[in-house]
Amino acid sequence: MLVFVDANIVLFAVPKTGSTAYHLALRGKADISLANKAGLKHMTARKFDRDFGPYLAQAHGLHPERVAVMRDPLEQLRSWYRYRQDPKRKGAGNSAAGMSFDDFVLAAIEDTPPPFARVGSQFAFVTDDAGDVRIDHLFAYEKQAVFRRFLEDRLGQKIETKEKNVSPSAPTPISPEVEAQLRAARADDFALHAAILAADGHLLTPLE
């Protein structure tokens, strides 16, 4: 998570949406950078509402607009799967080595996913307990030019990023039956992502 005072924005880091590349490119220019601890870097909208947002308001008088990127939910799961398939993770408690993508998806949508498939929901990341979106500017991962242009306009500078945390390639075929179960289980995720794409990659959901 990065906070830019003059631009009046806070950049959330939804996992597996390319956030690390932007954080590495911009954290030296941010006024507040929470980029080293995963729990802080990937702070959810709910935790921001509960803890960090009130701190920024009370301690610094800041009420920044919130910015986040969302990815096609199936492609995000594919990225998680490739990451958890990494041979370097073999033996780790959350390794998915040797598992098919179908089985990984089914595990991820269980009510209580096992550690290797505990990857969360993008919809849950950007909403509150009532399911209301708590981000002012939602961008589609698939519309990088739109997101980059917004950041450059707000920050008043060109942004150069380099790919980071790229997972090794791995086949990720999915059966129609499993994809149907995923789309039913993550209907809110797919609907919100579709709404962002329908808004040309930038969905405005201003908070009061």
pLDDT of residue 88: 66
**pTM recorded for the entire structure:** 0.93
Q: How far apart are the first and last CA of the chain?
A: 21
Per the CB < 8 A criterion, the answer to whether 101 and 78 are in contact is yes
- pLDDT-derived band at 35 (thresholds 50, 70, 90) equals confident
Tokens of 189: 């995720």
Per cent of the chain over pLDDT 90 is 77
Please tell me the distance from the alpha carbon of residue 171 to that of residue 191, in angstroms, as a whole number: 26
Query: Is the per-residue pLDDT at 180 higher than 80?
Result: yes
Q: Which range is least confidently modeled, 94-98, 105-109, 188-192?
A: 94-98
Q: Give the domain ranges of the chain.
A: 2-204
From residue 153, alpha-carbon distances to 79, 160, 185, 196 in Å are 29, 14, 37, 20
Tokens of 91: 């033996």
